[in-house]
Amino acid sequence: MTNASGAPDGRETASETNGQPKRAPELVRPPILLAETQAIVRRIEARIGETFLVYWNSPGGSVCQNDVVGFYELLRGIGKQDRVTLFIKSDGGDGTASLRIVHLLRQFAAHITVVVPLACLSAATMIALGADEIRMGPLAHLSAVDTALTHDLSPIDKDNLRVRVSPDELNRILALWRQETRGETVNPYENIFKYVHPLVIGAVDRASSLSMRLCTEILSYHLKDAEKARAISHTLNAEYPSHVYPITLREAQRIGLNARELDPELNDLLIELNEMYSEMGQKAITDFDEQNYHDNGILNILECRTSQIFYQNDTDWHYMMNERRWIRLNDNSSWRKAELVNGEVVQSVFHIR
């Protein structure tokens, strides 16, 4: 791979300092802490007496379709189980991937417990809905799952990026309009369309319907009361004024989820495990100059007692001044699998597509 200047990594570039060729900086690489995480995974399994899985996202990672294939690799390695405990830490992502993950887990486990020591938000909350029970620690919180989307016709912000539009924002605009006009027969959409394209409004409405359907379907894997499932789905999609409203244990129970307090000692082990993943998922940025840098960060991590699968960036970024945006160069990012062989960490590329 070449660096931003076009020279291979570690080789001299054409630029010079004091007459001497300037070397490209050594790339920052995050640690792979498989030996440490596997030791904690084994301690957790000994404590809970059942199969333990990890699904962890860094702040830059998200729930995505490729995660389903990663889960399948782990699950087919351990086989069908009566009970599985899944540790989730994520800020969310693709809700349709959440449904696929729950469906896959249900093919391998008769009973699923989700353990949440920290944040389990948005699409990650959807995954938690598919569990027979949710165990939450003192710092744990779920979130609303109402959908916001970025459309090709969305408004553009000051950085020349498309703005995310949510159904809640649109509904609030309409409510305020009706309140201010006091029942006058004025069509608010004539003015809204000047700022938000009608196709964006249609797409937002469709996304909201999809989110409701996803939640109801995920809950149906274990909750046979269809009316209760619809009520929980409606609450999570329409009753909160903010997408990131923190749903703590008390409120999770109040809206009808089978949520309970997480065993304190297990919570401590999960926090310790999270610290290891946080070290692996730290920023791994190598700055070449003001317009060029390399990103080597780890985003998503899945793990069981046999192996670890993770997605790692390996790409150069260049800032296009005239377009005011960053573009990828030399992208070698990939999913990778790490295993312990005779006490040594062995890595390989995990091919998803």
Tell me the whole-structure pTM to 2 decimals.
0.84
Which of 38-47, 197-206, 281-290 is predicted with the least confidence, judged by mean pLDDT?
197-206
The pLDDT tens digits of the residues spanning 58-117 come to 999 999 999 999 999 999 999 999 999 999 999 999 999 999 999 999 999 999 999 999
Mean pLDDT of the chain: 88
Q: Spell out where 20-128 has E strands.
A: 20-23, 51-57, 81-89, 109-116
Q: What is the pLDDT of residue 204?
A: 72
Reading the block at residue 128, the tokens are: 């938690």
Assign 199 a pLDDT band (cuts: 50, 70, 90): confident
pLDDT higher at 238 or 295: 295
pLDDT (tens digit per residue) in 102-130: 999 999 999 999 999 999 999 999 999 99
Is pLDDT of 10 > 60? Answer: no
Which domains does the chain possess?
Answer: 34-144+240-349 (3.90.226.10)
Measured CA to CA, the distance from residue 156 to residue 133 in angstroms comes to 42
SS3 293: strand
pLDDT at 246 over 90: yes
Asked whether the predicted pLDDT for residue 208 surpasses 70, the reply is yes
Task: Map tokens 């469709």 to a residue.
Answer: 206
Considering the chain, what percentage of its residues have pLDDT values greater than 70? 91
